[in-house]
Amino acid sequence: MTVTVKLLTTIIFCLVVDAKVQNHTCVPSSFRGVCVLEYIFYHPSNTTSHIFPTGYPLIRVHNNWWMRGARSVISHFDAKLYNQLGQPAAVEMISVYMNSLEIPHSLQQANFAENAIDRFTIEAGTGEPSLSSLDLSSNHISDLANISSLTNLEFLYLAANQITTIDKRILEPLIKLKYLNLNNNKLVQLSLGAIPQSLIFLWLYYNEISVISYDSPTTLHFLEVFNIEGNELKTLDGSALIQAMPRLRIVSFGDNKLDRNSVSEAIDILKRYNVSFSPVNEGDSVNCDNHIERVCLNEQLMENSWLKAALLSLLTVATGSAFVWIVWRVFLAMNK
Q: What is the mean pLDDT of residues 50-79?
A: 87
Distance CA 62, CA 72 (A): 8
Question: Which residues fall within 8 angstroms of residue 334, CB to CB, at 6 or more apart?
Answer: none
When pLDDT is averaged across residues 258-274 and rounded to a whole number, the result is 96
* CA dist., res. 275 & res. 227, Å (int): 13
Residue 199 phi, psi dihedral angles, 5° rounding: -60, 145
Tell me: the pLDDT tens digits for 198-257?
999 999 999 999 999 987 667 899 999 999 999 999 999 999 999 999 999 999 999 999
- Choose among 71, 80, 10: nearest CA to 37: 71
pLDDT digits (tens, 9 = 90+) for 132-155: 999 999 999 999 989 999 999 999
Query: How many residues appear in the chain?
Result: 336
Contact 166/191 with Cβ under 8 angstroms?
A: yes
Record the pTM. Answer: 0.83
Mean pLDDT of 26-48: 90
Predicted confidence band of residue 67 (pLDDT cuts 50, 70, 90): low
What does the pLDDT read at residue 302?
46
C-alpha 278/C-alpha 268 separation (Å) is 13
Q: What is the pLDDT of residue 20?
A: 81
Per-chain mean pLDDT for the chain: 85
Is 223:247 a contact under the CB 8 Å cutoff?
yes
pLDDT surpassing 60 at residue 17: no
Tell me the average pLDDT across 289-308: 70
> Bridge-partner residues for 110, per DSSP?
91, 134
Position 272 pLDDT exceeds 80? yes
In the prediction, which pLDDT does 31 show?
86
pLDDT (0 to 100) of residue 18: 45
- Please say if the pLDDT value at position 299 is more than 80: no
Q: Spell out the domain ranges in the chain.
A: 1-140
Alpha-helical (H) ranges within the chain are 2-16, 79-84, 168-171, 238-244, 260-272, 299-334
Check residues 44 and 133 and name the one with the higher pLDDT: 133
Give the pLDDT confidence of 81-115 residue by residue, as tens digits.
Answer: 999 999 999 999 999 999 999 999 999 999 999 99
What is the structure's pLDDT at 330? 41
Q: Which residues contact 131 (CB under 8 A, 6 or more apart)?
A: 103, 107, 108, 109, 110, 150, 152, 153
- pLDDT, residue 46, reads 83
Say how far apart CA 135 and CA 103 lie, in whole Å.
12
Q: Please give the helix or strand (H or E) that residue 73 lies within, else none.
A: strand 73-74
